[in-house]
C-alpha cells in the first residue's frame, strides 16, 4: 500500500552492494538538467520534475534497475546497522513500487524456488523475481493471515514498512495519519516476529507519541531513529529501527504443562 513518496526510476532487479550515489563526488555544480518547457505545468510540478531530473539517487535507481530511489534508503540503513542477512524471512508493508522489496530479495538470497520475501500493497507494481507480492490493502482484516500464509507460516525475521499517508500539506495532519500506519504496522510485527527479529518503519518528525515509543522500548532491546542520506534535504521523514524483539509473553504453566488454575 504505497502510502509513500516513491521517487522515480526503472523497475527491475538491482544487484550488488554498490555504494550509495550520495557518497560520490559531484564533478560540477553547473551540470544540472533543466525542464525544457514548463508550459501547462504548475510551478510546484516544474520544480518537482527538475529536482527528479537532477537527483543522483533517481539517476542511480534508473541505471541500476531499482523501482525507486527509496531502495537506497534501505541499503544505507542496512549498511549502517546490518539488519538484512542471507536466509532471513522478510515482510514488506506498502511495498510499491518495489525498491525495498528488490533490496530485501538481493540481500536475503530469496529465489522463486524458496520465497523469503513477501510484499503487500494495494497499488499495482511490477513483479519482483524472488518475492511474492500481494495486491491488497494491508489494513484489510484478512491481510495479516494472507501475509503469513504467503511466507509459509514461518515467523519473519524482519518487518519493514515505508508506508506514509498521502500528504495534505498540513504537517500535523500528515504526521497523525502516518503515525496511525506506524501503529498498525507495529501491532502486526508484535504478533508475527520471531524473537530476536527487527522492525523498521517510516515516521515523520513532529513529536513521537510517548505510548508508541514506550511500546517499542518494552518489546525490543534497542530503538533508534534513523535518517539515511538518501532522505531528501528538508524532508521530515525519519525511520524507527527497533532491533532484537524480546518475544511475546508466554502463558504461565506448571510442570505438567497446564495452567495453574486448570490443575
- The CATH number covering residue 184 comes to 3.40.50.150
Q: Is 34 a catalytic residue?
A: no
Give the residues across from 199 on adjacent strands.
Answer: 159, 242
Helices and strands, counts by H and E, the chain:
7, 7
d(C-alpha 220, C-alpha 242), whole Å: 6
On whether residue 257 sits in a domain, the answer given is: no
Cα dihedral 81, 243, 92, 79 in deg (nearest 10): 0
Indicate whether 53 pLDDT > 90: no
3 state SS for 215-226: HHHHHEEEEEEE
What is the number of domains present in the chain?
1
pLDDT of residue 51: 58
Mean pLDDT of the region 182-199:
97
Question: The whole model's pTM is what?
Answer: 0.78
On whether residue 221 sits in a domain, the answer given is: yes
User: Which of 80-84, 147-151, 186-190, 211-215 has the weakest average pLDDT?
Assistant: 211-215
pLDDT of residue 98: 98
d(C-alpha 46, C-alpha 34), whole Å: 9
Q: Render pLDDT for 118-168 as a digit per residue (tens, 0 to 9).
A: 999 999 999 999 999 999 999 999 999 999 999 999 999 999 999 988 878
d(C-alpha 121, C-alpha 136), whole Å: 5
Confidence of residue 211 (pLDDT cuts 50, 70, 90): confident
On whether residue 235 sits in a domain, the answer given is: yes
On whether residue 241 sits in a domain, the answer given is: yes
What the block records as the C-alpha cell of 166 is 498521502
Confidence of residue 52 (pLDDT cuts 50, 70, 90): low
On whether residue 214 sits in a domain, the answer given is: yes
On whether residue 62 sits in a domain, the answer given is: no
- Residue numbers of the domain that contains 221: 69-245
Mean pLDDT of the region 95-101:
98
On whether residue 3 sits in a domain, the answer given is: no
Indicate whether 263 pLDDT > 50: no
On whether residue 45 sits in a domain, the answer given is: no
pLDDT of residue 164: 86
**8-state DSSP, 206:** S
Confidence of residue 55 (pLDDT cuts 50, 70, 90): confident
Element (H, E) at 158: strand 158-161
The catalytic position among 136, 202, 227, 251 is 202
Mean pLDDT of the chain: 82
Amino acid at each position: 500500500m504505497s502510502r509513500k513518496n516513491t521517487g522515480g526510476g526503472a523497475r527491475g532487479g538491482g544487484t550488488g552492494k554498490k555504494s550509495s550515489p550520495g557518497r560520490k563526488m559531484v564533478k560540477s555544480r553547473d551540470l544540472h538538467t533543466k525542464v525544457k518547457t514548463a508550459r501547462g505545468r504548475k510551478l510546484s510540478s516544474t520544480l518537482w520534475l527538475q529536482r527528479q531530473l537532477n537527483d543522483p539517487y533517481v539517476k542511480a535507481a534508473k541505471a541500476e534497475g531499482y523501482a525507486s530511489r527509496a531502495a537506497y534508503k534501505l541499503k544505507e540503513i542496512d549498511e549502517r546497522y546490518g539488519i538484512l542477512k542471507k536466509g532471513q524471512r522478510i515482510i514488506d508493508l506498502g511495498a510499491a513500487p518495489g525498491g525495498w522489496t528488490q533490496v530485501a530479495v538481493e540481500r536475503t538470497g530469496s529465489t522463486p524456488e524458496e520465497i523469503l520475501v513477501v510484499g503487500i500493497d494495494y497499488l499495482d507494481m511490477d513483479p519482483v523475481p524472488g518475492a511474492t507480492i500481494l495486491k491488497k490493502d494491508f489494513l484489510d482484516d484478512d491481510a495479516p493471515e494472507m501475509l503469513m500464509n504467503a511466507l509459509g507460516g514461518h515467523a519473519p525475521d524482519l518487518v519493514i514498512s515505508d508506508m506514509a499517508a498521502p500528504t495534505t500539506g498540513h504537517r500535523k495532519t500528515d504526521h497523525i495519519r502516518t503515525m496511525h500506519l506506524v501503529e498498525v504496522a507495529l501491532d502486526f510485527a508484535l504478533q508475527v516476529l520471531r524473537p530476536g527479529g527487527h522492525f523498521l518503519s517510516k515516521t515523520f518528525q513532529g513529536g513521537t507519541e510517548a505510548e508508541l515509543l514506550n511500546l517499542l522500548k518494552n518489546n525490543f532491546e534497542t530503538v533508534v531513529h534513523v535518517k539515511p542520506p538518501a532522505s531528501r534535504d528538508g524532508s521530515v521523514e525519519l525511520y524507527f529501527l527497533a532491533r532484537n524483539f524480546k518475544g511475546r509473553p508466554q502463558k504461565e504453566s506448571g510442570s505438567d504443562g497446564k495452567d495453574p488454575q486448570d490443575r
